[in-house]
Amino acid sequence: MSGLRPRVVLAMSPVARQRLFAPDAIERLKSVAEVDTDLVLTDFASRDARAALGRAEVILSSWGGPPLDALALAGAPRLRALVHAAGSVKPYVTEPAWRRGILVSSAAAVNAIPVAEYTLAMILLANKKAHRMARTYRERRTRLDLLEDFPEAGNYAKTVGIIGASKIGRRVIELLSPHELRVLVCDPYLDDATARRLGAARAELDELLAASDVVSLHAPALPTTRHMLDRRRLALMRDGATLINTARGSLVDHDALVAELRPGRIEAVLDVTEPEILPPDSPLYDLPNVILTPHIAGALGVELRRLGASAIDEIARYAAGHAFAHPVTQAELARIA
């Protein structure tokens, strides 16, 4: 550290800067760091950027910021840390930065909060059959015999399968704890004792798929997880079960998913797809048993302020000589989003 108030440079889009930091947050940032909050870098090559990098001890980054590559590092001899006011740091922290020993923090744990809230809401609504009831009511436009037509509606004693004990997956399990549900979790890095401490029972993937009324994906996008839910595994899901994906679209074979959805055997809540923006002719837009949202589960609107506040907390910790509360290491990037 260079002193009690480290020199900080913002590297993000101007829109991100505006949405992340309210005026009071800007004042707090200035109280813990030497920072020109009007200078927002979207590249590291301009004259202003090179001058700022030459003095910077900490980069405060977010969406729209440039990667911290070898060229940027060469012009930043005093740089010690990168605090990322967003989720994944993979696009921003390069191999040269890790070799240099740059300390890295991410707001992924904070961004997990709204994703888990979205997931919890969708799990409870899926078990309640709320979306199916709404469709039926709209079609019939008369009184429904709810007891006759929806005998399996409700959350009591249902089974929820969580694929991936990530920060988000663990938060979802925590939020499910007040409800009388059986929770299964599948994660290759999780043992039985840890699963029990989380409030779930560990299960193998095939077992989880066959046993769950709702399956929620929280695994990272890795070569080993691509299309982990393929035709064979999707066929294991119970009739009437719901698949929720707030993780990455690549985890699911969409052609196989459409084949299961078309006859109405299962339902799906998809906040992420592959590609990210589906082509206009994708059947997922029109299938009545699909809830399709445009990647909204993560922080949006006022929730972005939480990410900004978390980043300022990290800079305050750094200024005080403390370790980051939400550090990211190169080793763990191999198995996180």
Instruction: Give CA 249 to chain center in angstroms.
Output: 12
Partners of 222 in the beta sheet?
none
Structure token digits, residue 263: 């006859």
Count of positions (residues) in the chain: 337
* Catalytic residue flag (residue 197): no
- The three-state secondary structure class of 163 is strand
* Catalytic residue flag (residue 295): yes
- On the 0-12 / 13-18 / 19+ scale of CB atoms within 10 A, 243 is buried
| Sign of the dihedral defined by the CA atoms of residues 186, 188, 191, 197, in that order | negative
**Other Cβ atoms within 10 Å of 190 Cβ, number:** 17
Q: How far apart are CA 237 and CA 40, in angstroms?
A: 48
Q: How far apart are CA 2 and CA 13, in angstroms?
A: 27
Active-site pick, 179, 295, 305, 335 = 295
* Catalytic residue flag (residue 117): no
Active-site pick, 204, 232, 276, 322 = 276
Active-site pick, 19, 233, 248, 326 = 248
Q: Which residues are catalytic?
A: 248, 276, 295
